[in-house]
Amino acid sequence: MTTLPGIADIHAAAARLSGLIIETPLIESQELNRRFGGRILFKPETLQRTGSFKFRGAYNKLSSLSAEERSRGVVAFSSGNHAQGVAASAAMFGVKAVIAMPSDAPAMKIANVRKMGAEVVPFDRFRDDRMTVIRPYMERGMVLVPPFD
């Protein structure tokens, strides 16, 4: 049974991320408020360190690992945003990262992941099972950083 995070977990995550993330603003559009008859707010996470909110989860996961777990490296699968978050976080911790990415993922995201120092393992999203692709790395002891959970 999965235990959902509580408010204490959220506060702890915020403390771990303090000073590392961009506190993105809320932006309001009066025109959209009028058009839809409510208050519409946008949170531009594209301004975040890696261009999405995924950095937050990846960094929190890596920060929760023991030194021994980090020494084994991390593995993930993603077509872009999570891959970049894991690669950036791994670089910050000096941890080896292997990311399985679909071969048709955006070239810029693949390049960014490599530029951050992660190894990219391409796979065919229509033919290959991503868990099968990363399983050998997990069997060698690398820690899975899932794109959700």
Give just the sign of the alpha carbon dihedral 56, 58, 60, 63. Answer: negative
109 is catalytic: no
Catalytic residue, candidates 18, 29, 43, 54: 54
In this structure, what are the phi and psi dihedrals at residue 85, rounded to the nearest 5 degrees? -65, -45
Catalytic residue, candidates 52, 63, 79, 103: 79
79 is catalytic: yes
Write out the catalytic residue numbers.
54, 79
